Amino acid sequence: MAGRAELRVAHHRAGLLRRVRPRLHRPSPSPADLRDPRAPRNLADTARKEFGTLDVLVNAAAINTREPIANVTPELWTEISDVNLKAAYFLAREAMLVMRATGGGSIINVTSINMEIGLEGVSVYGANKADLAQVTKTMCIEWAQYNIRANCISPGFLMTSLSRPLWEDTDRASWILERCPLRRPGMPSELVGACLLLASDAGSFISGTSIRVDGGLVAGSPWKSVPG
C-alpha cells in the first residue's frame, strides 16, 4: 500500500477510540452501539459523506460471555450474536452498497479459530464466528461482480481484554501453550500483516478465503510439553 490512508474507526467503547486516535493519520472515531439495528447504515453513511468513498471494512468487534450450553438463555444468545454476527453481517452489507457505487473495495471479517475447534463455554461465540466465515464465502461470490473482495482473518489465542480470563487461569494458559507450536500468545498487532495484505492491491486476487493467525495451533500440536 502506497501513501497514507484515511481511516474511520467505529467501536462500541469510546475509551478505546480515544487511546488509538493519536496513533492514526486523520482518524475519525465513531462510537456506536452495534446492537442498534440503525448503526450499520449510520456508520456507512457517515464514512461516505466524510470521505466520499469506503474502500475497506474490517469487522473486528466482538463480545463474549463464557457459559456452558446448559446455562445459555435465548437472551444471552441474542446479546452475543447481535454484535458478533448480526452487526458484522449488516455492516458488510451497508459497506457493499457504498463500494458498489464507487468501484469496489475489500471486506475483512475477523473470525476465530473457535469456528474450527470446540471449546467449552464458548458455544455461542464459536457458532457466530463459524456463521460469519460461511457468509463471507457468499459475500465473495455475490459481490465479485462489483470488484468487492471478502475474506476472513482467523486469530488464535491473542493477549486481549476478551481473552484475559483464559490467560489468568494457569491451567488453561498451560493448555494453550502446550498446543501452540510457537509456545506463546499472539498479540493484536500481529494481525496487521494479514489485514494489510487483504486490504491492499497485494491481495487483489484473494477472495473468499480465511487466513489463520494462530501460531500454528490448528495445524497440530508438538509432542513435548512446555519446558519447565
Nearest CA among 225, 32, 64, 31 for reference residue 160: 64
Summarised one tens digit per residue, pLDDT across range 27-44 is 567 788 999 999 999 999
Residue 44 and residue 98 in contact, taking contact as beta carbons nearer than 8 Å: yes
Mean pLDDT of 10-14: 47
**Which residues have CB under 8 Å from 104's CB, separation 6+?**
146, 147, 148, 149
Residue 34 to residue 61: CA distance in whole angstroms: 9
Is 125 one of the catalytic residues? yes
Helix axes 123-143 and 74-81, enclosed angle (nearest 10): 40
pLDDT band at 26 (very low <50, low <70, confident <90, very high): low
> Domain coordinates of the chain in residue numbers?
7-213
Class in CATH terms, 7-213: alpha beta
pTM for this predicted structure:
0.86
Least confident of 5-14, 56-65, 80-89, 180-189: 5-14
Classify each residue of 161-171 as buried b or exposed e, where b means 16 or more C-beta atoms within 10 Å of its C-beta. Answer: eebeebbeeee
Summarised one tens digit per residue, pLDDT across range 109-125 is 999 999 999 989 999 99
Beta strands 7-11; 105-110: pairing state? unpaired
SS (H, E, C) 25-74: CCEEEEECCCCCCCHHHHHHHHHHHHHCCCCEEEECCCCCCCECHHHCCH
Residue 119 to residue 179: CA distance in whole angstroms: 13
pLDDT band at 223 (very low <50, low <70, confident <90, very high): confident
Active-site residue among 125, 139, 158, 217?
A: 125
Residue 159 to residue 184: CA distance in whole angstroms: 10
What percent of the residues of the chain are helix, what percent strand, and what percent coil, each to the nearest 5? 50, 15, 35
